Amino acid sequence: MFCRFRGFKVKLKRGFFWYYFEGNRRTPFIEMESGWPCRYIDPKSNQLYLFRVSYFKRRINLEVFHAVTDGWGL
C-alpha cells in the first residue's frame, strides 16, 4: 500500500517556523473500533501516523488527519 500512496507514510515534525512532513518507517496499527468516529488522532499512540484504521465486524474505517489530504502530495 505504501509504495503506491507515499503521502500517507509520513509523520508531522515541528520546524523552526512551521511544521513539516518527514518519512515514517514504523508499521501502522489496525485496531478494533472503540469509541466514536472522527475523534482526535493522537500521533504518539498511533506510531506517529496521521491516520487511523479500525474495523468492526465486516466494516473497515479509515480516518485521516486533514493535513495529509489537503496539502501538496508527494
The whole-number average pLDDT for the span 15-43 is: 87
- Rg from Cα positions in the chain: 13
The whole-number average pLDDT for the span 39-64 is: 89
Count of domains forming the chain: 1
Identify the pLDDT of residue 71: 61
Residue 52: exposure state from Cβ atoms within 10 A (0-12, 13-18, ≥19): buried
More confident of the two residues 55 and 34: 55
1 part of a folded domain: no
Instruction: Please say if the pLDDT value at position 59 is more than 90.
Output: yes
Give which of 60, 58, 42, 61 is closest to 50, Cα–Cα. 42
20 part of a folded domain: yes
More confident of the two residues 41 and 70: 41
* DSSP label of 45: G
Instruction: Please say if the pLDDT value at position 4 is more than 80.
Output: no
Asked if residues 22 and 8 have their Cβ atoms less than 8 Å apart, the reply is no
Give which of 70, 32, 24 is closest to 53, Cα–Cα. 32
In terms of residue numbers, what domain contains 44?
A: 6-70
